């Protein structure tokens, strides 16, 4: 974990000047209306279905998001946390993972607006020039 609160990632990360706005990738188990709600609020978001990754493995999704510089939004904490741990051990970076839980925030059409608002609030907490590289956060 970095000690400089203005910097997220490691010494091999892209520079702060090159940091991009947070871009979201929604795993296949979120309703279509959530990606629409995120876009309406100004967030760059795509769903697994839109990019043909609804059947991709979790590791393939994390790699796609690394290449595309997107944060993964998923409900699959157990698998993604293990992959992130393995990547860390192998000195591989990812662009961040945001988790939801059906216990506290079910992935329903009715909750899409609330999930989008929470994502926007989370994004607002990221220091300017920073990102979620190698971080895992809960909504």
Residue 74 main-chain phi, psi, to 5 deg: -145, 160
Residue 111 DSSP class: G
Q: What is the pLDDT along the chain (139 residues), one digit of tens a residue?
A: 333 333 333 333 433 334 458 999 999 999 999 999 999 999 999 999 999 999 999 999 999 999 999 999 999 999 999 999 999 999 999 999 999 999 999 999 999 999 999 999 999 999 887 899 999 999 9
Q: Report pTM.
A: 0.84
Identify whether 12 is part of a domain.
Answer: no
Cα 99 to Cα 69: distance, rounded to the nearest angstrom: 17
Total number of domains in the chain: 1
Would residue 106 count as lying in a domain? yes
Does the residue 35 lie in any domain? yes
Q: What is the pLDDT of residue 3?
A: 34
Domain that holds residue 122: 20-138
Cβ(73)–Cβ(27) under 8 Å? Answer: yes
């Amino acid at each position: 974990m970095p000690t400089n609160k203005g910097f997220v990632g490691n010494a091999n990360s892209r520079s702060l000047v090159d940091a991009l706005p947070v871009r979201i990738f929604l795993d296949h188990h979120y309703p279509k209306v959530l990606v629409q709600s995120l876009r309406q609020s100004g967030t760059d978001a795509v769903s697994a279905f839109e990019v043909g990754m609804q059947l991709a493995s979790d590791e393939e999704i994390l790699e796609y998001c690394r290449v595309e510089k997107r944060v993964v939004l998923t409900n699959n904490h157990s698998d993604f946390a293990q992959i992130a741990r393995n990547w860390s051990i192998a000195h591989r970076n990812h662009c961040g993972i945001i988790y939801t839980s059906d216990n506290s925030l079910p992935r329903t059409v009715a909750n899409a607006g609330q999930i989008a608002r929470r994502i926007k609030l989370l994004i607002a907490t990221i220091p300017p020039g920073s990102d979620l590289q190698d971080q895992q956060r809960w909504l």
